Amino acid sequence: MLRDVTAVRYVTPLRSGGSVPAVVEADDLGTYVVKFTGSAQGRKALVAEVIVGELARALGLRFPELVLVHFDPAIAEHEPHQEVRDLHASSAGVNLGMDYLPGAKDFTPKVAESFPVDRLEAGRIVWLDALTANVDRTVHSSNLMVWPTFGTAPPRLWLIDHGAALVFHHRWDTSAPQKAYDFRHHALGRYGPDVRAADAELAPRVTEELLRGIVAEVPDAWLAEEPGFTTADGVRDAYVGYLHARVRASASWLPTDFPSGEELAAEEARRAARTQRGRPDWLKRVPDLHGKPAAEQDWAVHLG
């Protein structure tokens, strides 16, 4: 069960993404990144965060703890920006918090050049993303963090930010569980992910019982008023049925085509050359920043 906590101190908003989450301290002495129900992405993004995040944890992948955060906008009344105050006002009540990982760094292509990732670990993460239709873990936006561990153990990869996953729940009537998505530019593609071994290991573990337990964690209010459904439990049944059918159809969507690091670099060079062609001479001296990853940064700045 997701724990319930109450936000007692508003630390700072995170303005790097459209959802404008915030770092808060809670009454359990924990610090959390809170995503709000009133954000532009809507409550479905929070539903995806819960389902995919808890599924990742159930499969043994590293993912920060999620909690339900009771938020009173009064604790953030000192926020100077009206649009952020409006977001808070529309999000009074239960929101979603993710445990804040102090000192974690964004997994950028530069970090990837020297960071070792086991082929099976990469395969497990790619497999989860393919199962949950999470196409938002790319070389330019990895939604992965590198977090130092205690003692002499090396830093490890942590998954974050699954609000863009479960794309099928935006159009239930047109989504097929067998659909394959393009994962050639997955953030871990350069490691040669062993997705077949991951499928053999993980698919049997994604049972209907497991999915029902995970979907039960989603608050009823976040499932209310879903077009085509009359009850929150009906929506839960749809998630369970779809994901369970998708697991059984893994042979049809299992991604296996991943460009090497050299091929990705060559593709990026070709893209940059196409961008430069046709530019006036003065503009050619301006660096092309389109699609370039940000420098390493604290994950609090990264999350959106």
Contact 303, 33 (CB under 8 A): yes
Residue ranges covered by each domain of the chain? 3-100, 105-253
Q: State the pLDDT at residue 282.
A: 55
The tens digit of pLDDT for each residue in 275-293 reads: 777 666 655 555 544 444 4
Q: State the pLDDT at residue 15.
A: 74
Q: State the pLDDT at residue 197.
A: 98
Q: State the pLDDT at residue 265.
A: 73
Q: State the pLDDT at residue 253.
A: 97
Q: State the pLDDT at residue 301.
A: 40
**Ranges of residues in the chain whose predicted pLDDT is under 50:** 288-304
The tens digit of pLDDT for each residue in 47-73 reads: 999 999 999 999 999 999 999 999 999
